[in-house]
Chain A
Amino acid sequence: MAMATTTATNSDVLVTTEWVQNHLNDAKIRLVEVDEDKKAYSEGHAPNAVGWAWDSQLCDTQLRDIVPQAKLEQLLGESGIANDTTIILYGDNNNWFAAWAFWQLKIYGHQDVRLMDGGRKKWIAEGRELVTDAPAVKATTYKAQRPDFSIRAYLPDVQQAVKAKAAQLVDVRSPQEYSGEILAPPGLPETCQRGGHIPSAKSIPWGKACNEDGTFKSANELQQLYGGQGIDGTKPVIAYCRIGERSSHTWFVLKYLLGYQTVRNYDGSWTEWGNLVAAPIEKP
Chain B
Amino acid sequence: MKPEEYTQRKETLAGWPVTIVSYRLGTTYHVTVENNDPGAWVVKAQGSTKQDAEHKAITEATGLLAKIKQSPPPNRCTSVPGF
B-contact bits for A33-53, CB 8 A (1 contact / 0 none) = 000110100011000000000
Within 8 A of A (CB), among B1-59: 1-4, 6, 8, 16, 21, 23, 25, 30, 34-35, 37-44
Asked if residues A43 and B30 are in contact (CB atoms below 8 Å), the reply is yes
Q: Range of interface residues on chain A?
A: 35 or more
Interchain CA distance A39-B43 in the complex, whole Å: 12
Q: Which of B25, B40, B41 contacts A44 (CB 8 A)?
A: B25
Asked if residues A186 and B41 are in contact (CB atoms below 8 Å), the reply is no
Asked if residues B38 and A205 are in contact (CB atoms below 8 Å), the reply is yes
Asked if residues A190 and B8 are in contact (CB atoms below 8 Å), the reply is no
B77 — which chain A residues lie within 8 A by C-beta? 193
A16: interface (CB < 8 Å): no
Asked if residues A185 and B38 are in contact (CB atoms below 8 Å), the reply is yes
B74: interface (CB < 8 Å): yes
The chain B residues found within 8 Å of chain A, CB to CB, are 1-4, 6, 8, 16, 21, 23, 25, 30, 34-35, 37-44, 61, 64-65, 68, 71, 74-75, 77-79
The chain A residues found within 8 Å of chain B, CB to CB, are 36-37, 39, 43-44, 92-94, 96, 121, 124-125, 127-131, 173-177, 180-183, 185-188, 190, 192-196, 205-207, 210, 246, 283
Give 14 A-B pairs besides A125-B3, A190-B71 with Cβ atoms closer than 8 angstroms. A124-B3, A124-B23, A128-B2, A129-B2, A130-B2, A174-B37, A183-B78, A186-B65, A188-B40, A188-B42, A192-B78, A205-B37, A210-B39, A246-B38
Report 29 cross-chain contacts, Cβ distance below 8 Å, ordered by A residue: A36-B41, A37-B44, A39-B44, A44-B25, A93-B41, A94-B39, A125-B8, A127-B4, A128-B3, A131-B1, A180-B74, A181-B74, A182-B71, A183-B71, A183-B78, A185-B40, A186-B16, A186-B68, A187-B35, A188-B42, A190-B71, A190-B78, A192-B78, A193-B78, A193-B79, A207-B37, A207-B38, A210-B39, A283-B75
